[in-house]
Structure formats: structure tokens, C-alpha cells
Amino acid sequence: MSEDLLDRLVIEARQDLQRRRYLLDSDRFEQAVAAYEPKDFVAALRRPQLAVIAEMKQRTPSMGVLAEDYRPADLAHAYTEGGAAAISVLTHMAGFGGRIDHVRAVRATTGLPILRKDFVTDPYEVAETRACGADAVLLIVAALDAGQLKELLAVAKSRGVAALVEVHDEAEAGAAVDAGARLIGVNHRDLRTFNVELGLTERLRKLVPKEIVLVAESGIHNTEDARRMREAGADAVLVGEVLMRSEDPAAKIRELVV
């Protein structure tokens, strides 16, 4: 994912937000926010074994279509059966084939905590995350300036929603810690070259205080990879592609719980 592509995905997310923003008046929107009591996403990842955040997405900009027949509810059932600690749902339409309704479908299927993944830059989207039944929102440091990151973290706290702050290098990890993140995700995939470096979690764990929950993202395909992440100090792994391509995603999740 080049910087130009990241910029495009952010722009597309903002355009989609402008369409959604006017579907509900402010009173009905706030009623929807208040109607859902978020689960403790961070606590769900604190367990003796490596926690698995199982991700679903219909396609990606780099790999194309992952599922011709994309059924979020069916995937949620399989992920729950497999022992996932939480589920990640892409809601970015242009790049990943996602919709807010996919979160609602997953929420209706499982009691697991849900991470809503998108290219979030607006406080409205944080509240919207809770309104649709998700418990955590993704904040990508590369897509935000320091002021935006701190603002969105504050909004997430006030709305009762956890924030997974995604980083890819030492500077971004430092920015996440300085901003007060309680949950940090290390994306092994370089957003410019698509190269995957599993050693990134091993490097960045040293910069992240132990009390912060660390999630290793991208490039984790098997038990060996999962064990390496555990030994590097990761509390959880986020896996998507390998599950979307698996004929038995529940069994695949069990392989990764080490």
C-alpha cells in the first residue's frame, strides 16, 4: 500500500462517511449509540494463551477478491467456534468490500468483542462504531497527525470504545505511546512496498510498555508464526487473509492459539 494509496483510502472513507452521516438525525444517532453497551475489548485479549483477533474482509487492494460469496454472519459463527478472542470487521467499501451493516450482522451472530476496521479520521466514526455494535475502533497513526490521534483517543474513551492504534515503525510506536494508547497493533506489512517483516514486533515490543496490550498484525499464517509472536511479547495476533482463504477457518484459529 503506497502512501498515495493510503491517502486514497482515507479520502474514500471520508466520502463514504459524508453519505452515512445524514442517514440518521442527531437524536436518533445518539439513541443508537446509547443502546449498545460496549464489551471490554482490551480485557478479552488478556489471557494465558495468545489471543486471536479473527478478521473478515471481502477483498483487499493488494490481493483482490478473497471471497466471492462473502457472508459475515457465517464467518462470525466459524470464528467464534474456533476460539477467537475477538473479531475484526472491515467496513471500508471501496478498498475492502465492507459496510457498517457487516458489523451489525456479526453482532447479531456472536457475543465476542468486535473491532471495526476502517480509515477513521472523524469523531463521528468513533461514535458510529459503538452505534453499530462494535467495541473497538482502528486508528492508524500513518493516517493521522498527533492532534487527531489524541482527539480520537479521547473521543473513544468518552464513548466507551477501545482504540487499536496501528503502527509500523519506531516513530509511530513512540507517537502511540505518547498519545496514551492502551492497545497498540504492529502492522508487519509495509504500507509502501507490501513487504512483510515479522521481526517488527520483536523490535517494537521493546518500545511499548508491558502494561500496553500489543497486537501483531499481518503475515501470520501458521503455528510457528504465532509462537514467534508470542515469544516476541505479543499478547494477540490479528489474522485475516489466511482465514479468508481457509476451507476450515475454525480449525485454523485453533492452530494459532499457542
- CATH code for the domain of 149: 3.20.20.70
pLDDT digits (tens, 9 = 90+) for 167-178: 999 999 999 999
pLDDT of residue 62: 82
Number of domains the chain is built from: 1
pLDDT of residue 192: 67
Which three three-digit cell numbers place residue 32? 443508537
Position 191 confidence tier, pLDDT thresholds 50, 70, 90? low
Rounded (5°) CA angle 74-50-177: 105
As a whole number, mean pLDDT of residues 187-207 equals 88
Better-scored residue on pLDDT, 161 or 195: 161
User: What is the Cα–Cα distance from 63 to 191, expressed in whole angstroms?
Assistant: 14
Instruction: Give the per-residue SS3 of 153-196.
Output: HHHHHHHCCEEEEEECCHHHHHHHHHHCCCEEEEECECCCCCCE
Average pLDDT, the chain: 95
Which pTM was predicted?
0.95
The pLDDT of residue 230 is above 80: yes
User: What is the Cα–Cα distance from 19 to 252, expressed in whole angstroms?
Assistant: 37
Position 2 confidence tier, pLDDT thresholds 50, 70, 90? low
Which three three-digit cell numbers place residue 168? 509500523
Contacts of 177 (CB under 8 A, 6+ apart): 184, 207, 208, 209, 212
CB atoms within 10 A of CB 81: 14
pLDDT of residue 6: 87
As a whole number, mean pLDDT of residues 208-221 equals 97
Whole domain around residue 129: which residue ranges?
3-256
The pLDDT of residue 78 is above 90: yes
Please give the radius of gyration of the chain, using alpha carbons only, rounded to the nearest integer.
17
Position 221 confidence tier, pLDDT thresholds 50, 70, 90? very high
As a whole number, mean pLDDT of residues 7-31 equals 93
pLDDT digits (tens, 9 = 90+) for 99-136: 999 999 999 999 999 999 999 999 999 999 999 999 99
